[in-house]
Structure 1
Amino acid sequence: MRAVLIAGPTASGKSALALEMAEAEDGVVVNADSMQVYDTLRILTARPAQADLERAPHYLYGHVPALRSYSAGQWFRDVDDLLARDDVASRLLVFVGGTGLYFRALTDGLSEMPAIPEPIRRHWRDRLREDGAETLHARLRAVDPQTAATLDATDSQRIVRALEVFDASGQSIRKLQKDRGRALVRPEDARRIVLMPERDLLRQRIHERFVSMVDDGAIEEVERLLALGLSPDLPAMKAIGVREIGAFLSGDMTIEQAIERASIATRQYAKRQMTWFRNQLDDGWERRA
């Protein structure tokens, strides 16, 4: 199996590079971004445009309904299924995205997590909505103090995930995470590239891209998402731009304010991504500006 891994912060040019490499070698592009999996958010998550899809096959984009939560484990299994297809595995595989955990799972393996029964999932989602993250963090501290100590009391998504796992299995998610399974791509067999643009250039790209998103229909996209009446705790509802454009739609912001707030939030997210890549990716990754 031939593979290229392209990581980097949002708006760094990853998708363009991935498409260029896939097209040059009759390869396929595989999504490794946790937000680009959701179906409703094509524009706001910067999923590849139709013209890009026609230049090379793209997989694992927009295949998850916005009403679902999608985990790294589910992505890992979807990639595993994809690699079982002869028409895919025989070609150059270009994995591209900004979700570091996906790349780590790909090359290091992923812990086997228990399936979470829907009643348990619903129970903890309801508790979060009614009691708040800090109350649930205290509950986690009582049953799984080691995991609780690693989580901020406001990190609602990870707190709920840890409680779900403990409820379903009786085991600490931290303990389960230490037991890694098989890797899908051997790092020494893959070309690994991480894009790390200069900060001022990235800042400019982020602002210009969000303006383009608004021009291309991001407002209408958010209207369609909000019309679904989904829980604000779902990952798709937390995509950068949803809250800001939602505030514009409700009359609480001008569109200029929404663009500026979303640009600031995107810059902060990009900074976190770059910190993760800088600290977590080893010297086997080729770094490009």
Structure 2
Amino acid sequence: MRSAGIRKGGRGAVRALLIAGPTASGKSALALDVARRRDGVVINADSMQVYRDLRVLTARPTPEEEAAVPHRLYGHVDGAVNYSVARWLADATATLAEVAASGRLPIVCGGTGLYFKALTEGLSDIPPVPDAVRAEVRAACEGRDTAELHLMLRERDPTSAARLRPSDRLRIMRALEVHAATGRSIGDFWDARAPGPLAGADVEKLFLAPDRTEIRARIDARFLAMMEAGAMDEVAALAARRLDPMLPVMRAHGVPGLIAALEGRISLAEAIERGQADTRAYAKRQMTWFRNSMPGWRWVEAGAAGDPFGT
């Protein structure tokens, strides 16, 4: 469903700017700069920066940056919530309409490809899974390795099993939950997609493409800077809540390793190395996913001077 007001203005007028890229590529800084130049509002499209528990470890904009220009959908979700793409899309749709009504320019910024895909192409209408069904499926999955869960899914829903990586535990469990709740393949819902709020709208889409050697160095350095800025205190507070380890916030890059270090299962140095390695691997996946799944984006060199959207 398209939001009212998204396309108002003269023919060809750009109604939104989309800024994507791998982690540590400079997206937030670019969005802040463009928002200052163009009277914009920065809207978060990063699935971990929605959580209020992890400002430092997810590299959310600082309070000073958030005060400089309006920022929306940052840190507005409690870590105990299993926040989904569908919930983000509902929040983003309402925010886009609000920003458009104010006459300011929406600047959607983040690294979560599925969020951008939902905005521009739409989202499958998967029915909500009742809490009791989710709890039953998770209890059945507890203690089983991911490969075994994939075999379980292949027996119940071979179509979606064939479309999921055998190592993708979260999506395998999601498919199992949907099948248990509906008796249908999650693939049935994937293939029935409603248009996104920016489908057909006049938008400019930019992907920051950093040099791979440089981005790896930046990721490693940023993780160390996060540790100095209090990331361990954030993780300790999160661990004290004893949340379900399958919740998204508990799987944020760096969290599992730092919790293991807090519990004495690995050293702090090992936890840092693990967090850096996981983040580097994620950046690589982001680059590959956008290249293969998001045609029509303009790739630009990260760190280029000036406003890449022009004047």
Distance 1:284 1:217, change over 3 A: closer
Distance 1:90 1:172, change over 3 A: farther
Say whether the 8 Å CA contact 2:99–2:106 is kept in structure 1.
no
Q: Does 1:255 align with 2:261?
A: no
In structure 2, what is the Cα distance between the partners aligned to 1:20 and 1:187? Answer: 26
1:207-246 counterparts in 2 under 5 A? 207-246=220-259
**TM-score, normalization by structure 1:** 0.93
Deviations 1:45-87 (A, max 9, x none): 1111100110111111112211221111111111122234367
Q: CA deviation at 1:130?
A: 4.2
Q: Does 1:90 align with 2:103?
A: yes
SS of equivalent to 1:152: coil
Q: Does 1:103 align with 2:116?
A: yes
Say whether the 8 Å CA contact 1:27–1:91 is kept in structure 2.
yes
The one-letter code matched in structure 2 to 1:171 is R
- Bigger drift between 250-259 and 174-183 goes to 250-259
Deviations 1:197-253 (A, max 9, x none): 001111111111111101110010000010011122111111111122223323344
Q: Does 1:29 align with 2:42?
A: yes
Say whether the 8 Å CA contact 1:28–1:88 is kept in structure 2.
no
Distance 1:131 1:286, change over 3 A: closer
Q: Residue 200 of structure 1 is aligned with which of 206, 210, 213?
A: 213
- Bigger drift between 173-182 and 128-137 goes to 128-137
1:139-150 counterparts in 2 under 5 A? 139-150=152-163
Distance 1:178 1:114, change over 3 A: same
Distance 1:261 1:134, change over 3 A: closer
Identity %: 47
Distance 1:81 1:221, change over 3 A: same
In structure 2, what is the Cα distance between the partners aligned to 1:149 and 1:87? Answer: 41
The one-letter code matched in structure 2 to 1:125 is R
In structure 2, what is the Cα distance between the partners aligned to 1:85 and 1:283? Answer: 26
SS of equivalent to 1:85: helix
1:122-133 counterparts in 2 under 5 A? 122-133=135-146
Match of 2:91 in 1: 78
Say whether the 8 Å CA contact 2:56–2:226 is kept in structure 1.
yes
The one-letter code matched in structure 1 to 2:52 is D
- Bigger drift between 114-123 and 3-12 goes to 114-123
SS of equivalent to 2:276: helix
What 5-or-longer segments of structure 1 have no aligned partner?
none
Match of 1:39 in 2: 52
In structure 2, what is the Cα distance between the partners aligned to 1:266 and 1:64? Answer: 22
